[in-house]
Structure 1
Amino acid sequence: MSKIKFLATLVIVISLSLSIVLKESTNSTPYQRLKDDAVVLAFGDSLTYGYGVDRIFSYPSQLENKIGLHVINAGVSGEESSEGLFRLPSLLKLKPNLVILCHGGNDILRKRSHEQLKMNLLKMINLIKESGSEVLLVGVADFGLLGFKTLSVYNDVAEQTGVMYEENIISYIESKASLKSDNIHPNEKGYEMIADSLIKILKSNKLI
């Protein structure tokens, strides 16, 4: 083999190697797998608390049973995001490895400022990140003329912060009477679907 052909072959091999490395780097997850003793904090309002069903059927309880990790149900029915922002720091002292943030439903129902809701969510996520925990944001539905649709605030927050994001499950459940215990809250099957949707997100990001 001539020197020129050898150099050309070497360049091709190096280029292919770099391409593989870059591809693997692009496809890799920035998250670390949750250990067996990891703590998950489910933080929110009545959708987290499990209003409408026995709490053993709330999504945090069903999630705990399905993934085998300790999941703290930190849902408070009727709470607005401003109240949640005030309550969150004390719970972060528990040092959760992951916080599932599903908040703002009461702000939406009571027609509070969307801009203020966005600011409260951003502040919550900032607090969670500063604590060293990962964040999984859950979008909450708004009711419009064409039915339930995730409030655009959540998409904006997810894009701005780059956190894991489940966009559609709450809106889907809200649109199905068969998955609800009343006009707003899921039934046992609805809460299970929330848990399953979160598991898909965690698996896709290789946390579990």
Structure 2
Amino acid sequence: MPLSSVLQVKENRLRFPAADFLAICLLFSTLATACSSDLQQSALPAGATVLAFGDSVTHGNGAGPEEDYPALLAASTQWNVINAGIPGDTARKARQRIQALLVEHRPELVIVELGGNDFLRKRRPADVKEDLRAIVRQTLDFGATTVLVAVPHLSLMRAGIGSLRDADIYAQLAVEEGIPLITDVFSDVLSDEDLRADRIHPNAKGYKVLTEGFIEQLGEVGIYRD
């Protein structure tokens, strides 16, 4: 999982001796390596049940039947992928429905893609983060491997000019809960007008690119093996 940190220091406010700076760099490098090792997961076999839990992007708005990412993921991996995407769903609402889905489908893997509609409703990122945490903890308590999908901090203006990046809360939450994070894919797709049906949904080509990105990053943490 890509992990980055930006340290900004105003000139003449704070200075580090070279040796101290190198020691700090080594510390962060060691922590990053440890985190990467800790996030390695067992590979899911063909036929494993996967719950794709999310909103209209998981549902497949903007593309035709069998062109949504859960269908494409199932075709590529031979997993049994349940599409539990509801258009318009928010992290706040979704935390109330996850438990019933876990009991019904008993998934080995849950992919959580939520938060975009919360941002469009201008909810505080900190509140969205806590709703996502509640979902993640329910899936982990159930015993399912859990992967979080980083979503851009959506606004119609940012989407319109193709300037989207992952909201910070996803990397924070993934580190805090010790789970893999799929990064950049969603933001990159929605920043490319050739890959989207409208400002907030991929088109068929976009869902294909999205799925390929998901599979690549699931492979990086060992969940998918070709």
TM-score under structure 1 length normalisation: 0.83
1:84 equivalent to 2:94? Answer yes
Mean Cα deviation higher: 58-67 or 198-207: 198-207
Q: 1:64 to 1:146 in 2, by over 3 A?
A: closer
Q: How far apart are residue 32 of structure 1 and its match?
A: 1.6
Whether the 8 Å CA contact 2:42–2:223 is kept in 1: the answer is yes
* Aligned with 1:117 (options 124, 128, 137): 128
State the Cα distance separating 1:66 from its structure 2 match. Answer: 0.6
Q: What is the CA-CA distance between 1:42 and the residue it aligns to? A: 0.3
Q: Does 1:42 align with 2:52?
A: yes
Q: Does 1:136 align with 2:160?
A: no
Deviations 1:44-94 (A, max 9, x none): 000100001113100000010011111000000001111100011001112
C-alpha deviation, 1:135, in angstroms: 0.8
Is 2:112 the counterpart of 1:101? yes
Distance of 2:179 and 2:101 partners within structure 1: 19
Q: Determine which of 53, 69, 82 is the counterpart of 1:72.
A: 82
CA RMSD of aligned residues (A): 1.9
Distance 1:28 1:113 in 2: 30
CA contact (8 A) 1:49 1:55 kept: no
Give unmatched runs, 5+ long, in structure 2. Answer: 1-32
Structure 1 residue 114: Cα displacement: 1.2
Stretches of structure 1 that go unaligned for 5 or more consecutive residues are 1-22
1:29, distance to aligned residue in structure 2 (A): 6.3
Could you say which structure has the higher strand fraction? 1
What is the identity, as a one-letter code, of the residue corresponding to 1:55?
A: P
Q: For 1:110, give the aligned amino acid.
A: R
Q: Which has the higher helix share?
A: 1
The percent identity for this pair of structures is 32
1:109-188 equivalence runs, <5 A: 109-142=120-153, 143=155, 144=158, 147-188=163-204
Give the TM-score normalised by structure 2: 0.77
**Does 2:47 match 1:31?**
no
In structure 2, the residue corresponding to 1:53 is in which secondary structure? coil
User: Larger radius of gyration, structure 1 or 2?
Assistant: 1
Runs of 4+ in 1 over 2 A off after TM superposition: 26-30, 143-146
